Amino acid sequence: MSGFRLAQGGIVERSTVLGFSFDGQKLQGFKGDSLASALLANGVGLVGRSFKYHRPRGLFGAGAEEPNALVTLGSGDRTEPNIRATTVELSAQLQATSQNRWPSLAFDVMGINNLLSGVLAAGFYYKTFMWPAALWEKLYEPLIRRAAGLGKAANLPDPDRYEQGNLFCDLLVIGSGPAGLNAALVAGRAGARVIVCEDDFAFGGRLLSEQYEIGKAGAGQWLAACLAELESLPNVRLMARATVFGVYDGGSYGVVQRLVPEGVVPEAFHARQCLWRIVARQSLLASGAIERPMVFAGNDRPGIMLGSAVRTYLNRYGVAAGKRLVVHTSHDEGWTTAFDAQAAGIETCVVETRDTVHADLIAKAHRFAVRVVLGGRIIDTRGAQGLTRVTIATDRYQEHIDCDGLAVSNGWNPTLHLTCHHNNKPVWDGPRACFVPQHLPQGMRLAGAVTGDFSLKDALSQGWQQGAAVAEDCGFKPAAFEALSCSDDPQEGVSVWSVAGKGKAFIDLQHDVTSDDIVLAHREGYRSVEHLKRYTTLGMGTDQGKTSNVTGLAVMAGLCGTGIAEVGTTVFRPPYTPVAIGALAGAHRDRHFRPTRLSAAHQWAVEQGAVFVETGLWLRTQYVPKSGETHWRETVDREVLAVRAGVGLCDVSTLGKIEVQGRDAAAFLDFVYCNLISTLPVGRTRYGLMLREDGFVMDDGTVARLGEQHFLISTTTAQAVAVMNHLDFCHQVHHPAWDVRMVSVTERWTQLAIAGPQSRALLQRALGQTIDLSDGATPYLACRNFMLAEGVPARLFRVSFSGELAYELAVPADYGDAVVRHLAQPGREFGLTLYGTEAMGVMRIEKGHVAGNELNGTTTARDLGLEKMMSRKKDFIGRVMAQRPALQADDRPQLVGFKPVDPAARMTAGAHFLPIGHPATIGHDQGYMTSVAYSPHCGCLIGLGLLQHGPQRIGERVRAYDALRGLDTLVEIVSPVFVDPKGERLHG
Amino acid sequence: MVEPVYKRRSVWQGRVDAGSYGKAVAHAGLHVRLLDHAFAASVLCPAGEPATASLGPGQRYSREGVQILPMAPDQFFIESETMPSKECLLRLFGAQATVIDQTGSRASVQLSGPNVLDVLAKGVMIDCDPLAFPAGSGRVTLLGQLSVQISVDAEGVFELSCMRSMAGDMWHWIETAAGQYGIAVGR
């Protein structure tokens, strides 16, 4: 191909010259060019290599349908592979690189695949790599992985920002051709909220590509006036570079908008792309149609392109697709290409497959001096890296014609992809020879070429009528229909799917699927369209077969001796065109991948040098290293010993806190907890265990009774939301008539655990006379509402997770920071130590308290040694199902403690218990270790675990076998309570 | 003057200061006022409470200086600049209502300015256009991944609030969504 810029014509801004590069070569184009048109204008015909055979390829289309011209834009961390050159708006300094070739586009070593095409036919994966099986991992898979894929990702963090947003409208117009714009105009004028999404960087659709007339002037004037009016309407939003890629439920549409042209670095504070969710009361699909090619030998050479694309380059960009053009057509449309080209000074010849055409076409061809061959077909092409010659054949003769451009026209396929997204299959319309939508997603209408009516007149009138209908449905009064005079499109033609000839004839240009592949699939029984697609990979490239699917189906229909209607079609899924993963992620990346919750005392912990850990969405203090400490274990040991010997402080604000009030609150809590709550006196706290409906443990926590009808329950941090949902469900479904009122107050209170033998002294010093902390006034498990100095409300709970004398002080979050700082002042005198989740974990294991590792959804109260908590005096959630024989079986693993026989030995959570002297098989598995920590108190690792007949086997030894880490440790079964088994420390 | 022992710390303190953020522009596209309501509470009423019959969903009501947002059937979130009296709460919600103090539990901002709708569109899941969400409207919805309450104080003036612990994420959203328009933060 030797395309060139015409001296005039097109709608590019010739006064604005833009420099860009392709494979390092410096080139120039104009503002308004696409990358493809600019390449063509510079005579660049070879733009890529095909996926499988690495055949040289050129531009085939001029829009989203392009199968060949996939390029990589940018470099470094802004590298974007697999971008269609046809949809890229040319910008200054745009850097494009060809892909799928080595070492260069002109000389590609992998082009050897073309010589091996006999081996690489459809299904070769399935046949070739069957044996010897041993080579699969060593040779075949690495080879296939190396060969697979198109383009190379940057492998660097994306420096740009992506946004997501939501828009709402009465009418979403998809496509800004004549149908879409006319619909937007009538609905917008009537007052409806209208959004127009255009995939291209310019509005107008085919109006930009054709020499249409509307009214008594060129279509360009109508387009300009229409856009000016739409832009002036405050209720209309025009969105260019916005691709509607998916149709979802409830009138939702997925749209990705390129906020800056590809290859342009966004300004500071601006995003590169935005992923919109547009919710529309109704939508109008005015997506037009894609011209379809013919299949003939050598139909993939650079220089061969769709006739509609040739006209786009000519009329929109002022670029000729070649110096000598042949038009191979079975349709009147192809003649328009010839006339447009010839008028632009390009020598053109029409090779028409039909023997006769309308006399007007012949007359016009004579006027334009276009050579015409009727009843002709192209049976061969020549040219190594660009077309140089075609061979035509008629019934009477064969002839070689030298040319560097070949335009192919074979009718149109409606761009109906979005109509399929709710699994609606299109149907074959025989008279119009194309698939048309049968059923539509709710709220969607059609106008223009997507309906199968391809004329400009139909597009304008359907657009108006559908736009008016939507406006009426939304309560507006649209103006009456105004017919516009316009040029008529040529309409007649036949479908010629395949032309016999020698050599490869390609159907899917991107995936190198040939007509021979379809024949092979048919011969091997893959005749269903779904099998055909998967066996040959027809239509499975990044273009989703926009120019190949229907042709492939037609060829299969021919082989089967049936019609296309009988063969049927596959459906299209979102996305319509590829969507960058960055747009799907939006702002949810890195630290903001998900929200982070911080307690009101977080800043103070930061100042203390705390190291944090994610617990659910919360960041919690994990441990707080002091200078000189070189290992986290050193820090944690110190924190544990400090709490056990003196006093420590831990922020427990993250635990879920739910207020439960109402006349039936006590009965309700009896129902949701397995132990009895209604007997809890006011001013006291009780440990509560909650089961699921299936009898397994759901969560645990404390229940404080603050008044006769007023309870405050706590949940684990991770389960807070699940427990709130569960309680709501139990209330609304099981006992809707009960007077129970619940609300989460987790955010309201900052809660601090103060633990250790000095905790009372410290708190009493800090809180002064505001509360009496003596055993008599505030005994173990007491709870109190009281006021701090200056009237700050507070709550105190004498509960302990560490096993030490301990309190939990709750204050309003607004005062959380002040209170923790206030406690820290006398804390210096008492050696107050801030401790984190690691030390807390060590201390709870030392006390045999269960936590998330044990409350893992597979354990029952009995498994955890908490069977006595299951009340026999009442009904409760999970009671009946917990009685199932399997949950009562004697051999269910039960909670016990473990110590390594050799105190220096390592043991790990997750290790499985095996009897000594038996092989490590599932048949000998007796349970597993749930939690392990180093206990400074015991001077060795200690663990909790679930072991068959565990409580009866204390003193025995078993193996803790961890195949993952290669550990096999002899451990002793011990009581799960390692520290203070009598609980004396709790009382100070 | 004696310094108080327990100094109240607003959720925004130390997190966002008054000033300009984002792109340097002559006239900021988004104006942010950091709010610090003196009182907030959840109000839970028995089903069918007559006093709340007029407090249907979708609106934020202003009654006797109390802002009331329905959260669920018979559940309301209220905010005010002074602690409402018992009598006031009795009139608004009836004698059977349970009022649970939630002061300080939420992080709130007031958003306005010429680009406020553009900014809200980049996160809020509902239609904030005045036609669909006029002054006086209120909803519980999502802002990205955050659960938020949003209401319209006047046309073009929105109040947005999320859980206190997620204030950092809400501010991050404001900075990123509105950075291109320029942000003016005040109290």
Q: Domain ranges in chain A?
A: 162-289+414-473, 643-654+747-858, 656-744, 890-987
Q: Could B169 and A595 be called an inter-chain contact, meaning their C-beta atoms sit closer than 8 Å?
A: yes
- Residue A381, CA atoms < 13 Å, CB-side half-sphere: 30
ipTM above 0.90, yes or no: yes
SS3 content of chain A, % helix, strand, coil (to 5): 30, 30, 45
The CATH code for residues A890-987 is 2.40.30.110
The span from the CA of B50 to the CA of A675, in Å, is 37
Q: Could B4 and A790 be called an inter-chain contact, meaning their C-beta atoms sit closer than 8 Å?
A: yes
| Closest by Cα among B61, B178, B67, B56 to B114 | B178
The span from the CA of A697 to the CA of A152, in Å, is 49
Measured between CB atoms, does A817 come within 8 Å of chain B?
Answer: yes
Q: Dihedral (C-alpha) A117, A123, A125, A127: value to the nearest 10 degrees?
A: -100
The span from the CA of A912 to the CA of A922, in Å, is 10
Nearest CA in chain B to A161: B176
| Closest by Cα among A509, A570, A576 to A544 | A576
CA distance, residue B104 to nearest chain A CA (Å): 5
Note whether A738 and A667 are within 8 A (CB): yes
Note whether A34 and A12 are within 8 A (CB): no
Backbone angles phi, psi at B53, to 5 degrees: -60, -30
Note whether A437 and A419 are within 8 A (CB): yes
Q: Reply yes or no on whether the pLDDT at A622 is more than 90.
A: yes
Tell me the per-residue pLDDT of A240-296, one tens digit each, with 9 for 90 and over. Answer: 999 999 999 999 999 999 999 998 999 999 999 999 999 999 999 999 999 999 999
- SS3 label, residue A567: helix
Q: Could A747 and B106 be called an inter-chain contact, meaning their C-beta atoms sit closer than 8 Å?
A: yes
The span from the CA of A804 to the CA of A840, in Å, is 11
Report the sign of the C-alpha dihedral through residues B142, B144, B147, B148, in that order.
negative
Nearest CA in chain A to B22: A269
| Closest by Cα among A291, A304, A290, A289 to A506 | A304
The CATH code for residues B19-36+104-186 is 3.30.1360.120
Nearest CA in chain B to A591: B169
Q: How confident is the model at residue A115 (pLDDT cuts 50, 70, 90)?
A: confident
pLDDT: is A500 or A343 the higher one?
A343
Q: How confident is the model at residue A861 (pLDDT cuts 50, 70, 90)?
A: very high
Q: Could B44 and A812 be called an inter-chain contact, meaning their C-beta atoms sit closer than 8 Å?
A: no
- Which of B6, B144, B169 is opposite residue A815, by nearest beta carbon? B6
Put simply, the chain A residues between 581 and 600 with a CB less than 8 A from any chain B CB are: 586-588, 592, 594-600
Q: Which residue's structure tokens are 């029409």?
A: A350
In A824-949 the beta strands, taken as DSSP E runs, fall at 833-834, 893-900, 912-914, 927-935, 940-948
The span from the CA of A620 to the CA of A612, in Å, is 5
Q: Reply yes or no on whether the pLDDT at A224 is more than 90.
A: yes
Tell how strand B39-44 and strand A377-382 pair up: unpaired
CA distance, residue B125 to nearest chain A CA (Å): 6
Token digits of residue A85:
């050159």
Q: Reply yes or no on whether the pLDDT at B1 is more than 60.
A: no
Note whether A394 and A417 are within 8 A (CB): no
Q: Which residues pair with A328 in a beta bridge?
A: A351, A408
Q: Reply yes or no on whether the pLDDT at A1 is more than 60.
A: no
- SS3 label, residue A842: helix
Q: Could B5 and A789 be called an inter-chain contact, meaning their C-beta atoms sit closer than 8 Å?
A: yes
Measured between CB atoms, does A355 come within 8 Å of chain B?
Answer: no
- Which of A594, A599, A739 is opposite residue B46, by nearest beta carbon? A739
* Residue A422 buriedness (CB in 10 A; 0-12 / 13-18 / 19+): middle
pLDDT: is A113 or B12 the higher one?
B12
Tell me the per-residue pLDDT of A682-717, one tens digit each, with 9 for 90 and over. Answer: 999 999 999 999 999 999 999 999 999 999 999 999
Q: Which ranges of A344-410 would DSSP assign to H, the alpha helix?
A: 359-368
For residue B14, list chain A residues with Cβ-Cβ distance below 8 A.
Answer: 603
Note whether A456 and A486 are within 8 A (CB): yes
Measured between CB atoms, does A339 come within 8 Å of chain B?
Answer: no
Tell me what pLDDT residue A240 has.
98
Q: Tell me if the domain spanning A656-744 has CATH number 3.30.70.1400.
A: yes
Q: Reply yes or no on whether the pLDDT at A724 is more than 90.
A: yes
Tell me what pLDDT residue A2 has.
63
Note whether A543 and A66 are within 8 A (CB): yes
Put simply, the chain A residues between 731 and 750 with a CB less than 8 A from any chain B CB are: 739, 741-743, 745, 747-748
Nearest CA in chain B to A819: B6
Measured between CB atoms, does A358 come within 8 Å of chain B?
Answer: no
Write out the CATH class of domain B39-101. alpha beta
- Which of A165, A267, A597 is opposite residue B166, by nearest beta carbon? A597
Q: Reply yes or no on whether the pLDDT at A631 is more than 50.
A: yes
Q: Reply yes or no on whether the pLDDT at A13 is more than 80.
A: yes
For residue A274, list chain B residues with Cβ-Cβ distance below 8 A.
Answer: 122
The span from the CA of A932 to the CA of A12, in Å, is 71
In A595-639 the beta strands, taken as DSSP E runs, fall at 611-615, 618-623
CA distance, residue B13 to nearest chain A CA (Å): 10
Q: Reply yes or no on whether the pLDDT at A330 is more than 90.
A: yes
For residue A597, list chain B residues with Cβ-Cβ distance below 8 A.
Answer: 163, 165-166
Mean pLDDT score, A672-688: 98
The count of other CB atoms within 10 Å of the CB of residue B142 is 14
Backbone angles phi, psi at A576, to 5 degrees: -60, -45
Percent of chain A past pLDDT 70, that is, above it, reads 99
When scoring A741, A821, A825 by the number of chain B Cβ atoms within 10 A, the one with the most, hence best to mutate, is A741
| Closest by Cα among A269, A288, A87 to A205 | A288
Q: Could B163 and A597 be called an inter-chain contact, meaning their C-beta atoms sit closer than 8 Å?
A: yes
Of A94-98, A135-139, A970-974, which gets the smallest average pLDDT?
A135-139
Q: How confident is the model at residue A934 (pLDDT cuts 50, 70, 90)?
A: very high
What does the H/E/C string look like for chain B?
Answer: CCCCCCCCCCCCCCCCCCEEECCCCCCCCEEEEEECCCEEEEEECCCCCHHHCCCCCCECEEECCEEEEEEECCEEEEEECCCCCHHHHHHHHCCCCEEEECCCCEEEEEEECCCHHHHHHCCECCCCCCCCCCCCEEEEEEECCEEEEEEEEECCEEEEEEEHHHHHHHHHHHHHHHHHHCEEEEC
Mean pLDDT score, A402-427: 96
| Closest by Cα among A374, A373, A350, A393 to A502 | A393
Percent of chain A past pLDDT 90, that is, above it, reads 91
Q: Tell me if the domain spanning A643-654+747-858 has CATH number 3.40.1780.10.
A: no
For residue B5, list chain A residues with Cβ-Cβ distance below 8 A.
Answer: 788-790, 818, 822
- Which of A592, A814, A816 is opposite residue B103, by nearest beta carbon? A814
Q: Could A792 and B75 be called an inter-chain contact, meaning their C-beta atoms sit closer than 8 Å?
A: no
Q: What is the mean pLDDT of chain A?
A: 95
**CATH number, domain A162-289+414-473, options 3.40.1030.10, 2.60.120.10, 3.40.50.720, 3.50.50.60:** 3.50.50.60
Note whether A655 and A752 are within 8 A (CB): no
Note whether A807 and A643 are within 8 A (CB): no
